[in-house]
Every structure is written in C-alpha cells, then in structure tokens.
C-alpha cells in the first residue's frame, strides 16, 4: 500500500514538472521567433556596413590610418575581454560553451604575457568567474532583448578607452548563431579593427564626397557599434533556441518517466488486488 501511494505521488510530481517544462518550451519558442527576426533584420545592415568600409578604404588609399584600426603607440599589455552569457539557466550547454571559450581566450592571452581586464554580460558569467576567483571589472545586464541604445553606449565607452590607450585590444566572447541546429562559441576581436578587405576595382567604381578618409572617420565607429550589436543579437537567439531544445527534451523525458511510473503503479496495484483475492479465497477455504 505504501509503495502505491509513493508511486502516485511521483506520477503527480512528474506531471507537474512536464507542464512546467512544456510552458517554458512554448515561451522560449515565442522569444526565439522574435529574437531571430531581430537578428535577421540587423544582419544585412551589419554586412553592408562592413562591405562599405572596405570599398571606402580602397578609395582612401594605403596612407589612411585611424585610431580604431591600430594598437596604441605605447602598448600597455592590457587587453579587455567581454563575455556575453545569459541571466538565467535551463538553456542546455549555452552558458557552459561560452564560458569555456571565454576561459580559453583568457588563458591564451595570459600565456602571451597580457594582463586581462574582464567584463561580463549576464548573471551566469558573474557567478562562474567569482567561483574561478577572477576579478570582474564591470558587470552588465541587458536582458532577453538587448536595446541598441544600451549596446551603443557600451561600444562608445570601449572605443573611447581603446583610443585613450587603456587597452591594446578588445575581445568579445559570445555564441554566434549559425542555424537552428548549430550555434558556435566565438571570440571576436572587436578592436583594433582589422584592415577591411575590398573587392578589386572597388575604388574606381565610386567617387566619394567628402573624401574616403572623412567617410571612414564616421563609418568605422558605426562598424564597431553594429558588430557588437549583432553579437548581442546572435547571443540572444542562441540562448532562446537552446532553451527551447532543452525544455523540449525535458518535456519528452518527463513524459517517458511518467509512462514508466504509471506502468509500475499498475503492476503494484494489480499485485495488491491479486494478493487480496488470494487472501479472501484462502480464508474462505479455511472456513469450509
């Protein structure tokens, strides 16, 4: 009798967990759809800005230089690493993969003699690096839907600090969204900007007014801002799709466990009924 009551309690608990995970899966699906639309909407603009920088750079010539494209004149051997994670868990290996990539990046930079200034986005990164006994200089929280104004303010501060010579480079560790089935942890060098590649003959196809150098002074900061914003959008999409997959797996596992417990419950109940019938028949036979 005690075993039957225990199995019944477990069935109720599993059904409750299944309803919770199913609800979380539906919420994650809705958020993923919205985040994917935002990421797809910003991707063409980001790619076009980068392409335009390459075309204008070809027109500006090899003599053009910009503070965002070169390391400080007096290197400080200090580099900033920005790690983007989530505020909440239950999203599979999302945070684990990003934090592992972040740790590898930090270890590699330290091995080359660099001092690391660490900044984090998301509560999971704060908890991880606190456990790893690494100091976090700045903690940021942007939520499930990063706003362009917030990311722009962060990018401008990073550019100002880099131009002032506080850091030799700025790296961003995040989860790059490739497709629904593939998300890749990536360490992107945000600053200094790599020399943009332009297609052959690009400089002869356009006439720039004002000059290419003046246009680049405006385009390069925008390129940094939109690249960082795209990284945040990719991270948000990856988080939601991985949470959606994880909650679907949890829901399916709960359903399977519920069937197993139900089968054991039926067997235990049938065994009890058989035992009771046997006792009745044995008692009746003893009275004869």
pLDDT in tens, 12-48: 999 999 999 999 999 999 999 999 999 999 999 988 8
Please report the pLDDT score of residue 287 as a whole number: 75
Rounded Cα distance between 158 and 278, Å, is: 80
CA distance 40 to 223: 17
- Tokens at residue 208, please? 């720039």
pLDDT at 12: 94
Q: Quote the pLDDT of residue 279.
A: 83
Q: What is the pLDDT along the chain (288 residues), one digit of tens a residue?
A: 568 889 999 999 999 999 999 999 999 999 999 999 999 999 999 888 888 887 777 666 666 677 888 777 778 889 999 999 999 999 999 999 999 999 999 999 999 999 999 999 999 999 999 999 999 999 999 988 899 999 999 999 999 999 998 999 999 999 999 999 999 999 999 998 876 554 444 444 666 677 767 778 888 999 999 999 999 999 999 999 999 999 999 999 999 999 999 999 999 888 888 888 888 888 877 776
pLDDT value of residue 123: 94
CA nearest to 32, candidates 251, 229, 226, 246: 246
- Rounded to a whole number of angstroms, the distance between the first and last alpha carbons of the chain is 30
Nearest to 41 by CA among 276, 236, 262, 190: 236
Strands (E), 26-90: 78-84
Tell me if the pTM is above 0.75: yes
Output the six-digit token pair for 6.
Answer: 């225990």
H, E, C per residue of 132-188: CCCCCCEEECCCCCCCHHHHHHHHHHHHHHHHCCCCCEEEEEEEEEEECCEEEEEEE
**Where in the chain are the domains?**
26-245
CATH architecture of the domain with residue range 26-245: 3-Layer(aba) Sandwich (3.40)
**Torsion angles phi and psi, residue 214, rounded to 5:** -65, -40
């Amino acid at each position: 009798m005690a075993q039957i009551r225990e199995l019944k309690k477990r069935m109720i608990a599993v059904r409750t967990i299944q309803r919770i995970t199913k609800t979380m899966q539906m919420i994650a699906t809705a958020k993923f759809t919205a985040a994917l639309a935002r990421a797809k909407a910003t991707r063409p603009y980001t790619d076009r800005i980068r392409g335009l920088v390459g075309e204008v750079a070809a027109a500006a010539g090899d003599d053009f230089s910009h503070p965002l494209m070169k390391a400080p004149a007096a290197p400080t051997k200090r580099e900033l690493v920005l790690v983007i994670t989530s505020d909440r868990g239950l999203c599979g290996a999302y945070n684990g993969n990003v934090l592992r990539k972040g740790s590898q990046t930090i270890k590699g930079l330290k091995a080359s003699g660099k001092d690391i200034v660490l900044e984090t986005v998301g509560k999971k990164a704060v908890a991880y690096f606190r456990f790893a006994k690494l100091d976090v200089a700045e903690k940021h929280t942007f939520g499930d839907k990063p706003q362009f104004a917030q990311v722009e303010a962060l990018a401008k501060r990073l550019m100002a600090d880099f131009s002032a010579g506080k850091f030799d480079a700025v790296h961003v560790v995040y989860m790059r969204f490739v497709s629904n089935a593939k998300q890749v942890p990536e360490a992107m060098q945000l600053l200094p900007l790599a020399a943009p590649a332009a297609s052959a003959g690009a400089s002869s196809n356009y006439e720039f007014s004002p000059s290419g150098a003046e246009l680049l002074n405006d385009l390069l900061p925008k390129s940094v801002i939109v690249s960082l914003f795209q990284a945040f959008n990719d991270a948000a999409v990856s988080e939601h799709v991985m949470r959606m997959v994880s909650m679907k797996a949890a829901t399916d596992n709960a359903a399977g466990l519920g069937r197993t417990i139900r089968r054991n419950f039926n067997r235990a109940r049938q065994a009890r009924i058989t035992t009771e019938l046997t006792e009745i028949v044995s008692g009746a036979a003893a009275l004869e």
